[in-house]
Structure 1
Amino acid sequence: MNTSQIWQELDRQVTAGRIPGYVAAVRRAGIGEVHASGRLSFDAGAPAMLCDTPFRITSVGKPLGAALTLALIEDGVLGLHDEICRWLPEFAEPAVLREVTGPLSDTGPADRPITVFHLLAMTAGWGVLLQDCPLQSAIDEREIGSGPAPPQMTGDEFVRRLAELPLAFQPGAGWLYDTPVKVLSVLLARAAGMQLGDVLAQRLTQPLGMADTGFWADADRLPAPYRPVGDGVEDIELPDGAFVRPPLFEDLSCGLVSTAPDLLRFFSAMADGGAPVLHPESVRLMTTDQLTVDQRMQGLPILGLGVSWGLGVAVDVEAVSPWMAPGRWGWTGGSGTSAHVHPDGSVAVFLSQRELADAQDGFDDFWAAVSVG
């Protein structure tokens, strides 16, 4: 496996000052390689990146959350089409907006219950609206929207505040991003009867040997977070204690910390059929397109061209870019992270600390190099 071209491309990003450093991993034909370069921050004398440097992986945690859910389904703890009000009675009778941009008082009853499937498929009726409207304003006022860290409250409080608001559409009728996995995080803990971190460890990270994956890490090991501004970057101010101590809300949608070797283990296990975490049938279900054409169009600003959604993961349906292929799956995190599995079984993981400028920003040069390297 010749990965020198891949690392050279990423090193150019460091030399150009776009990122202070990175860790990446590639597996082809069953052989994996992890490479680290640069430093933890732009500060002079900052520690060097190491292959086991932990990163805030933000939305790259969603595939892990999906696999954990499907593992608990295999165990009989819950069912894919179970109503979520079994564990989240707060959502027993949700109201639904008649128009997504309309007043919060103009609602009707839900015509079907919200299910676990709706949470994984992002079709529950909650999510990032990408437009100014009363519902988005109410989400912002309650501090339960999406961001670089989990909401600063317990999962129970998050659910309580969310339940005060109507759905944007009838369950199963549309597609909106992110919030359903926050709800799922609370549901899994309640269904299992223990802290979500313990469930994650017992059913996913320990069986796969992912010792550096969890909801927090030592502060001196974490890279400094940045966001792009103009031609440069600026520091990101995270909530006090975020990612460096046990959180109030263990949130699988954006709250996990992991390393390139750990993520390579996870995605490689899924690429090889799921053992020892999942059966192959569950992996196939997770990585199969679950959206209608209309839902995919609604998700276009987040998903991008040629991409649909399975259960907790994005799925390529067209080869719009040279590195894409129908059936390729994975996802990207807003903190500058990405991981995908190609239909040929190859796996690639990229971890940086430069937040994406928007949903279609990213490190295309990395994926182009992976596709030919």
Structure 2
Amino acid sequence: MTGLRDILERHVSGGSLPGAVALVARGDEVEVAVVGSADTEGSAPMVRDSLFRVASITKIVTAVAVMMLVEDGRFALIDPVAPWLPELASPVVVRTPSSPVDDVVPAEHAITVADLLTFRAGWGFPSDFSLPAVGLLFSELKQGPPNPQLIAAPDEWMATLAKIPLLHQPGEAWLYHTCSDVLGVLIARVAGCSLPEFLAERIFEPLGMADTGFAVPHGSRGRFTGCYRTGPQGGPELIDAPDGQWSGVPAFPSGAGGLVSSLDDLYAFTRMLLDGGGPLLSADSVQRMTTDWLTPAQRAGAELFLEGQGWGFGGSVDVAPVDPWNVPGRYGWVGGTGTAAHVTPSTGAVSILLTQLELSSPTPPALMREFWTYAAS
């Protein structure tokens, strides 16, 4: 019978990626596989506590932080965000998604915390990246694959965002990515400290996530893997080395994709969600996070990213068994650097996959799908 290690070894031995680390937990039974090397040179073997850029798995952590502030009574889900993000007090919307960026109308209602959590505030990536208002997210905000040292500090970033029109009216459509970066700024302003400080004090320290943060200390870089993309000859091509962009805390700590973490740190985090939120959140908050908030039309409009899935707070929610790995209620997300983390409350399962190979498109690659099918079996 094919095991978890067999799945990873097949892809690593084929030369498509240097190494991988994975975990599948079914109840209290935990299976871990560690395969390959931390880099293409084979200078260091992959180890269980290797460090990875987890990219968009960061979005789930950011959503947890927002829900902690809700439970603290700092704001409610229905509250407008303008008191803390005054740059967003009077947003405008392009008349149609394909309209020029100067053909705008006023937003019909204020942007709320819930709009940001459900990715329906009006900024973000649709299926068509060529739309004029979307182009500004790349050229002005540097949205896209994580490049932490290239992004402006939060106040400057927010001032730039405020000049970019919404693609849709708030609440109307699901758009990927940008809302989590806005939430990161919201958390910092409401809490009165930086996003790294808040996450460290309120999430990482209570859960024992000692290897998770926005930068890798010098003493830990021996465990930090290289980050690669598929090169023109089909093999891995280095994007970022261990002494690269994660060597220091960036000016803009991205709530959408900036974290580095390890297998066991992510397991502690996902177990918290699976076990009902303690000690960080109430079971009610976790239930809200893992509920699909999208309409059928919104799910259909997000097909490039969601493939029919729904969206909770910070992560997708499987709504129908359309694939062997698609279990209704499964919640989690993938990172563009080749990572994935999910929990399935109905079966008590956790699945975590960490690789070093950047995804070439929003469509999950074969390894990820094989891993998910195995985790669901």
If the length of structure 1 is used for normalisation, what is the TM-score? 0.94
1:76 matched to which residue of 2?
73
1:180 matched to which residue of 2?
179
Aligned equivalent of 1:8, options 6, 11, 20: 6
1:104 matched to which residue of 2?
101
Aligned equivalent of 2:254, options 248, 251, 255: 251
Distance (Å, rounded) in 1 between the aligned partners of 2:262 and 2:112: 32
Q: Could you list the per-position Cα deviations for residues 168-188 of structure 1 after superposition, in whole angstroms to 9, with x for gaps in the alignment?
A: 111001110000000110010
2:24 matched to which residue of 1?
26
1:197 matched to which residue of 2?
196
Q: How far off is 1:221 after superposition?
A: 2.6
Q: Could you list the per-position Cα deviations for residues 72-99 of structure 1 after superposition, in whole angstroms to 9, with x for gaps in the alignment?
A: 1111122212211111100100011111
Partner SS for 1:263 = helix
1:301 matched to which residue of 2?
304
Q: Within 5 Å, which residues of 2 pair with 1:237-248?
A: 237=240, 241-248=244-251
Greater mean deviation of Cα atoms: 149-158 or 65-74: 149-158
Q: Name the aligned partner's letter for residue 78 of structure 1.
A: F
1:141 matched to which residue of 2?
139
Distance (Å, rounded) in 1 between the aligned partners of 2:351 and 2:142: 32
Q: Within 5 Å, which residues of 2 pair with 1:106-121?
A: 106-121=103-118
CA contact (8 A) 1:149 1:254 kept: no
The reply on whether 1:281 has 2:284 as its aligned counterpart is: yes
2:361 matched to which residue of 1?
358
1:368 matched to which residue of 2?
373
Partner SS for 1:86 = coil
Q: How far off is 1:133 after superposition?
A: 2.7
Q: Within 5 Å, which residues of 2 pair with 1:213-232?
A: 213-218=212-217, 219-229=221-231, 231-232=234-235
Distance (Å, rounded) in 1 between the aligned partners of 2:280 and 2:29: 21
The reply on whether 1:162 has 2:161 as its aligned counterpart is: yes
Partner SS for 1:283 = helix
1:126 matched to which residue of 2?
123
Partner SS for 2:266 = helix
The reply on whether 1:51 has 2:56 as its aligned counterpart is: no
Q: How far off is 1:235 after superposition?
A: 1.9
CA contact (8 A) 1:318 1:325 kept: yes
CA contact (8 A) 2:17 2:235 kept: no
Distance (Å, rounded) in 1 between the aligned partners of 2:97 and 2:276: 40
CA contact (8 A) 1:148 1:238 kept: no
Tell me: CA distance 1:239–1:153, structure 2 relative to 1, closer, same or farther (3 Å): farther
CA contact (8 A) 2:4 2:33 kept: no
CA contact (8 A) 2:224 2:242 kept: no
Partner SS for 2:155 = helix
Structure 2: gaps (5+ residues): none
Partner SS for 1:320 = coil
Distance (Å, rounded) in 2 between the aligned partners of 1:96 and 1:26: 44
CA contact (8 A) 1:144 1:161 kept: no
Distance (Å, rounded) in 1 between the aligned partners of 2:50 and 2:266: 12
State the 4+ residue runs in structure 1 displaced beyond 6 angstroms: none
Partner SS for 2:3 = helix
- Percent of counterpart pairs with the same letter? 40
Q: Could you list the per-position Cα deviations for residues 271-296 of structure 1 after superposition, in whole angstroms to 9, with x for gaps in the alignment?
A: 11110011100000000000011111
Distance (Å, rounded) in 2 between the aligned partners of 1:134 and 1:273: 42
1:263 matched to which residue of 2?
266
Q: How far off is 1:238 after superposition?
A: 7.9
CA contact (8 A) 2:290 2:313 kept: yes
Q: Name the aligned partner's letter for residue 145 of structure 2.
A: G
Partner SS for 2:247 = coil
CA contact (8 A) 1:144 1:162 kept: no
Greater mean deviation of Cα atoms: 4-13 or 335-344: 4-13
Greater mean deviation of Cα atoms: 293-302 or 22-31: 22-31
Q: Could you list the per-position Cα deviations for residues 224-267 of structure 1 after superposition, in whole angstroms to 9, with x for gaps in the alignment?
A: 11112453232225899522211111112110011110111111
Greater mean deviation of Cα atoms: 9-18 or 177-186: 9-18
Distance (Å, rounded) in 2 between the aligned partners of 1:140 and 1:5: 41
Tell me: CA distance 1:122–1:223, structure 2 relative to 1, closer, same or farther (3 Å): same
CA contact (8 A) 1:315 1:327 kept: yes
Distance (Å, rounded) in 2 between the aligned partners of 1:114 and 1:196: 21
Q: Within 5 Å, which residues of 2 pair with 1:35-50?
A: 35-43=33-41, 45-50=42-47
Report how many aligned residue pairs link the two structures.
368
The reply on whether 1:341 has 2:343 as its aligned counterpart is: yes
CA contact (8 A) 1:28 1:345 kept: yes
CA contact (8 A) 2:27 2:348 kept: yes
Distance (Å, rounded) in 2 between the aligned partners of 1:238 and 1:149: 12
Distance (Å, rounded) in 1 between the aligned partners of 2:285 and 2:45: 39
1:326 matched to which residue of 2?
328
Distance (Å, rounded) in 2 between the aligned partners of 1:213 and 1:104: 38
Q: Name the aligned partner's letter for residue 341 of structure 1.
A: V
CA contact (8 A) 1:34 1:261 kept: no
Distance (Å, rounded) in 1 between the aligned partners of 2:339 and 2:169: 32
CA contact (8 A) 1:314 1:329 kept: yes
If the length of structure 2 is used for normalisation, what is the TM-score? 0.93
Q: Name the aligned partner's letter for residue 127 of structure 1.
A: G
